[in-house]
Amino acid sequence: MQWAGMALGGLPPVVSTVFDRINGGPAAGLYASGLIGMTSQHPAARAWLSARLRTSGPHNATGFWEAGRLDGAACVARFRGRDVTAYFEGGRADLLEAPVMAASKPSPVSTVPLGRLWPPPLRPT
């Protein structure tokens, strides 16, 4: 049997699921910085995100955008244990409808139990 090549990596995640798991935990800062990073090259998504941020209260736009000015470690420390969805007028619902999240909604493939997809059949060349 000869192998033609090998691929390493994993299945792309459903981003909203990842965000739900880290929100409010020690790595919540990755949620805020992830949203900022995901919208950095998409002006319409960035404008939508900005328009949904709260303008007053302890969780407001000024505090949220701070995540974009911090390095990774400082961002994680700053947002540790925080509910990042509290920075948005509609909370979690806003983020599920965000243009930037549209591409990460579960597809028919991502809802198939993993056992049906893995392991893939090996086909020698």
Q: What is the DSSP string of 86-97?
A: GGBTTTHHHHHH
Is 74 a member of any domain? yes
What was the pLDDT predicted at 11?
58
- For residue 91, give the CATH number of its domain: 1.10.260
Identify whether 91 is part of a domain: yes
123 domain-assigned: no
pLDDT digits (tens, 9 = 90+) for 21-41: 899 999 999 999 999 998 888
pLDDT score of 16 = 74
pLDDT of residue 96: 79
Between 63 and 42, where is the model more confident?
A: 63
- Per-residue pLDDT for 68 more than 70? yes
What is the maximum span of the chain, computed from C-alpha positions, in angstroms?
A: 65
pTM: 0.70
For the chain, the domain total comes to: 1
Give yes or no for residue 115 having a pLDDT over 50.
Answer: no
Q: Which residues contact 40 (CB under 8 A, 6 or more apart)?
A: 46
